[in-house]
């Protein structure tokens, strides 16, 4: 990730602010405020603003549940209770805003999370940067044969070279042609003075889906955790997972108690179906169980055995 001199100056200016406020403040998050945290080859996330901290969650929960909640002696106890029982509204009382730079094909996944506010850089009004995502070699995996959704083995070096060459050549050529269509370069200089340029709203269609875009993305803590639960998961596509992982680090700085409860009760948890619970009960009582009689499909059975670290019981 290479920031322009202008961007660096903007970040420096933002970070040099020092305002006095009566609002609750998260001192650890303040330290990285506005910082451009690199993701992928040209992307980043930046925390631009936030509202509330762990104490805000406690404050609104105590309003909801009234005097009685004081019996839960500590803030930590209360937050763990709320997370465990999915009492979700108090977590909506915190808000955060990110500035994100990301490839368009990832932006298209991300935007499916609807409960957020978004302002995206518009290629209808402006010219997009000449920046596109090229995967690192170790991310170039083959299509999985067994699992349509996953990736399989890493490509060998020769095929990886071919792939990267194609991606780079096509992105470069289509971007150069994008400029030719616009008859204008990113800096605003004209290419051919005798010609007009195609409307930006049309020219952009020539770009490839690995072109970078950027946006401001604002959401509340509950919806952020739902996003991170899905996108920081090992089944998420690598290219969105790395964003989620960096964001998870900012959550840890911002609301450390909530972060810990989230890891224990959501990320590390497993949802076991009614039939799966029956299998567990039989296993605990020392009975023999097998997939055929369990009522679980092979796939469900194997998922359950993985959760229980019973690799010896996995069926094929």
Scan residues 185-244 and list those touching a second copy (CB under 8 A). Answer: 195-202, 204-210, 214-216, 218, 220, 237
Subset of residues 266 to 305 that bind a second copy, contact rule: CB under 8 A: 267-277, 280-281, 283-284, 286, 297, 300
Determine how many CB atoms are found less than 10 A away from the CB of residue 313: 17
Beta bridge partners of 39: 43
Helix (H) or strand (E) holding 117: strand 117-120
Looking at the Cβ atoms of 166 and 315, the one nearer to a second copy is 166
Subset of residues 44 to 63 that bind a second copy, contact rule: CB under 8 A: 49-52, 56, 59-61, 63
For 235, phi and psi rounded to 5 degrees? -85, -10
The answer to whether the beta carbons of residues 24 and 57 sit under 8 Å apart is no
Looking at the Cβ atoms of 102 and 247, the one nearer to a second copy is 102
Looking at the Cβ atoms of 14 and 157, the one nearer to a second copy is 14
Site string for a second copy, 116-155 (x = CB under 8 A): -xxxxxx-xxxx-----x-x---xxxxxx---xxxxxx-x
- Catalytic residue of the set 231, 241, 266, 299: 231
Distance (Å, rounded) from C-alpha 279 to C-alpha 291? Answer: 9
Site string for a second copy, 60-99 (x = CB under 8 A): xx-xxxxxxx-x-----x--x---x----xx-xx-x-x-x
User: Catalytic residue at 231?
Assistant: yes
For 41, phi and psi rounded to 5 degrees? -80, -30
CA atoms within 13 A on the CB side of 241: 8
Q: How far is the CB of 38 from a second copy (least distance, A)?
A: 19
User: What angle (nearest 5°) sits at the alpha carbon of residue 158, between those of residues 157 and 164?
Assistant: 85
Looking at the Cβ atoms of 84 and 185, the one nearer to a second copy is 84
Q: Of the candidates 136, 166, 191, 315, which one interacts with a second copy according to CB under 8 A?
A: 166
Subset of residues 27 to 46 that bind a second copy, contact rule: CB under 8 A: 30, 33-34
CB neighbour class for 95 (10 Å; exposed up to 12, middle 13-18, buried from 19): middle
For 236, phi and psi rounded to 5 degrees? -70, 155
User: What angle (nearest 5°) sits at the alpha carbon of residue 113, between those of residues 219 and 256?
Assistant: 45
Considering only 38-46, 104-112, 246-254, which stretch makes contact with a second copy by CB under 8 A? 104-112
Nearest residue to 140 via CA among 118, 119, 115, 164? 164
Q: How far is the CB of 247 from a second copy (least distance, A)?
A: 17
Looking at the Cβ atoms of 114 and 234, the one nearer to a second copy is 114
Q: How far is the CB of 164 from a second copy (least distance, A)?
A: 10
**Residues catalogued as catalytic:** 231
């Amino acid at each position: 990730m290479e920031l322009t001199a202008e961007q660096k100056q903007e970040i420096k200016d933002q970070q040099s602010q020092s305002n006095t406020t009566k609002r609750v403040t998260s001192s650890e998050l303040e330290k990285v405020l506005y910082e451009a945290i690199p993701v992928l080859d040209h992307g980043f996330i930046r925390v631009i603003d936030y509202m509330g901290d762990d104490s805000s969650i406690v404050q609104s929960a105590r309003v909801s549940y009234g005097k009685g909640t004081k019996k839960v002696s500590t803030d930590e106890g209360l937050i763990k209770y709320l997370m465990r029982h999915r009492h979700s509204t108090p977590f909506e009382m915190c808000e955060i805003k990110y500035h994100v730079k990301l490839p368009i094909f990832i932006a298209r996944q991300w935007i499916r999370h609807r409960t957020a506010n978004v302002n995206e850089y518009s290629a209808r009004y402006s010219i997009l940067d000449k920046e596109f995502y090229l995967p690192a070699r170790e991310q170039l995996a083959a299509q999985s044969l067994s699992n349509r959704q996953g990736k399989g083995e890493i490509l060998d070096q020769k095929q990886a070279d071919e792939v990267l060459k194609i991606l780079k050549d096509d992105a470069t050529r289509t971007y150069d042609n994008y400029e030719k269509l616009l008859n204008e370069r990113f800096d605003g200089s004209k290419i051919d003075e005798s010609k007009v340029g195609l409307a930006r709203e049309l020219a952009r269609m020539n770009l490839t889906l690995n072109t970078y875009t950027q946006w401001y993305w604002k959401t509340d803590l509950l919806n952020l955790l739902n996003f991170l639960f899905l996108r920081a998961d090992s089944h998420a596509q690598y290219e969105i997972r790395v964003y989620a992982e960096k964001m998870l680090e900012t959550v840890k700085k911002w609301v450390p108690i909530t972060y810990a409860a989230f890891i224990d009760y959501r990320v590390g948890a497993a949802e076991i179906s009614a039939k799966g619970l029956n299998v567990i009960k039989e296993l605990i009582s020392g009975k023999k169980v097998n997939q055929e009689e369990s009522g679980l499909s092979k796939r469900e059975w194997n998922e359950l055995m993985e959760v229980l670290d019973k690799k010896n019981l996995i069926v094929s």
